[in-house]
Structure 1
Amino acid sequence: MKILVFGATGSQQFNIIGEAKKRGAEVVAATSSERSFDRLNKAGAIPILANMNDADKMREITKGIDSVALLIPVSLPNPVDGLQYAKNVIDSAKANGVNKIVWNTSAWLSSHKLGIPGEDVKLDIRDYLKNSGVDYVIIEPTIYMENMMGPFCAPFVKKEKKIAYPTPEAMPIGWIASRDVSAFIVEAIYSTKLKADTFQISGMENLRGNDLADRFSKGVGEKIVYYPQTSTEFGEILKPFVGEAAAAGVASYYESIQNATTYPAKFNPDMSKVLEKLPIKMTSLEQWAKGAREYFFS
């Protein structure tokens, strides 16, 4: 099995390398920077320099590939460009006889367009993939535990012993570990029964803010409290890392949640059914926090 991974330099897809290597796969990791080569090599992947906006390059690197693990960058200056990036990969995969595309959507897809370019374009990508003629699996993860390692959260943990996140304390979330998402993706690649399937995945615990802080506290061995961050503060911290447009879009999304009378679902109560088709070992928030303790308190 030869797998081409997009986004392998980031936390969302990096663990695909290790999970695929466990199955004996050869992993090719596309990256836009040669600075990532050493890290990807050490992880066991074959790095290749390629930009998703280059259709010719996509046709070149998908030759001889069995499956593609797809991720669209979240930090595009113009989020709508994500559709063309996806088309370049999907069209190339089809032309070169790739068996399957497994797309990590980075979040649960909305039922309709929200006026947020970075989220709305995913619905167009979904439709294009479904109509492409290539076998596919769509993996929709809820909020990553690794988000707590981000610049909008980690400094608060280190300096103030607060878990900062721009969701109300009362809003429950089924936080999921990046490694678990990667394991789902690899299982989907290897499953011959899955050819046109979509899975909304979450962690096994549906945690409100104070519950999150409690599990995190137990994991790191420190007393941590929950801090419901404002969307404005969140967006300002995020801006230098993903660009003004992407930060504004994400901040707008969280502002809508903060102003909502009912909260969007971020937990799948039927994860047992998902695990029947994609059997992996799930990670609890406490387990994840225990493993990440050194990152926060070294």
Structure 2
Amino acid sequence: MAIIVHGATGAQGSPVLAALRAAGHHPTAAVRDSTKVTGPALSIDNDSVESLVRAYAGAEAVFVHLPLASPDQQVSYAQKIGEAVVQARPGRVVFSTSGYPTELRDGTLTAHGMLAAALAESGVSYAVIAPRIFLENLLLPVTLGPAREDGALRYPIRDDYPVSWVSHLDMADIAVALLTDNSVTGVVTAGALPPQFGADLAEGFARYFGKPVVFEAQEPEAYGELIIPMFGADAARPVVDSYHFRWTQPGEVIDEERSAQKLLGITPRTVEAWLRDLAV
């Protein structure tokens, strides 16, 4: 089965590529530098319709997610990918929103919403995977280190904030199911049900580490000070602002009716199982 995987060297695409190979498929990595990939690969330019059409032509399925970029650049990527799908008409497109909203509070479509709408209008078989927050955020040294060494899992959400957490490994399982079976279309929500609170996360870490771990709600600005040395002030600011917004919200829980659990029979890993699979 000819399957194209965008960003196959990154945090989202790499697990999808690996899961497809484990399932006996022979996917092709679509990346900026094909020399960095072992196995079939091709170089693409997300801002070139011609480049994307060449990649998609004849493909039975394509896995897509928008790379990190400025909002304007992501809009350009979304438009180019959408146009390439219309022109090349691959057999199936599976798009991950990567936890981003598809529209703003005033109803304006984001880049992710634009691409989801373009796929819906393309006439090509498609599915949109809609996660909330990735468990991999907890692996940053500023969070994992204190959890392992001090028994304190610190993260910038409230203690009473329920989240349908999901891992990149779970996303890969969902993506493989959707790439290889066209029977489910439209939005598929991805994440834990019931949702988890900070204490639930800490309990999973405690079971994995074999020692007590407690959750500590962290002020977004304090979290920002820790990640600035890693990402830079400009990149850290939108992240901090997103957590300020979360502090004003009741939670982030997926729609059960459109969940991977209900539509695909795929239940996300527990926190302990996720940590064990990664062997962190």
TM-score range, shorter chain: 0.7 to 0.9
- Root-mean-square deviation (CA), in Å? 2.6
Checking the alignment, whether the CA contact within 8 Å between 2:63 and 2:94 is kept in structure 1 is: yes
**In the alignment, structure 1 residue 113 sits paired with structure 2 residue 107:** no
Q: Distance in 1 between matches of 2:243 and 2:149?
A: 24
Partner of 1:57 in structure 2? 51
Q: Deviations over 1:11-57 (max 9, x none)?
A: 222211122224432211122245732xxx1xxx4232323123322
**In the alignment, structure 1 residue 266 sits paired with structure 2 residue 266:** no
Partner of 1:290 in structure 2? 276
User: TM-score, normalization: structure 2?
Assistant: 0.87
2:76 corresponds, among 76, 84, 89, to 84
Q: Deviations over 1:150-170 (max 9, x none)?
A: 244223334433222211111
Q: CA deviation at 1:101?
A: 1.0
Report matched runs for 1:64-83 at 5 Å: 64-74=58-68, 76=69, 78-83=70-75
Report matched runs for 1:121-136 at 5 Å: 121-136=111-126
- Aligned amino acid, residue 219 of structure 1: Y
Unmatched tracts of structure 2, length 5 or more: none
Where in structure 1 do 4 or more consecutive aligned residues deviate above 6 Å? none
Partner of 1:180 in structure 2? 170
Partner of 2:224 in structure 1? 235
1:224 corresponds, among 202, 213, 219, to 213
Q: CA deviation at 1:239?
A: 4.5
- Aligned amino acid, residue 237 of structure 2: A
SS in 2 for 1:26: coil
- Aligned amino acid, residue 231 of structure 1: P
Unmatched tracts of structure 1, length 5 or more: none
SS in 1 for 2:183: coil
The structure whose RCO (Cα within 8 Å, separation 6+) is larger is: 1
Q: Distance in 1 between matches of 2:110 and 2:83?
A: 21
Q: Distance in 2 between matches of 1:247 and 1:33?
A: 26
1:168 corresponds, among 136, 158, 166, to 158
Q: CA deviation at 1:268?
A: 4.3
1:137 corresponds, among 123, 127, 132, to 127
Q: Deviations over 1:196-232 (max 9, x none)?
A: x111221234221122111221122122221222222
- Aligned amino acid, residue 57 of structure 1: S
Percent identity reads 20
Partner of 2:41 in structure 1? 47
- Aligned amino acid, residue 49 of structure 1: S
Q: Deviations over 1:132-190 (max 9, x none)?
A: 23221000012222221124422333443322221111111222121111111111112
- Aligned amino acid, residue 135 of structure 1: S
* Number of aligned residues: 279
Q: Distance in 2 between matches of 1:11 and 1:205?
A: 25
Q: Distance in 1 between matches of 2:211 and 2:10?
A: 28
Q: Distance in 1 between matches of 2:189 and 2:158?
A: 22
1:101 corresponds, among 93, 101, 114, to 93
Partner of 2:10 in structure 1? 10
SS in 1 for 2:110: helix
Checking the alignment, whether the CA contact within 8 Å between 1:143 and 1:266 is kept in structure 2 is: no
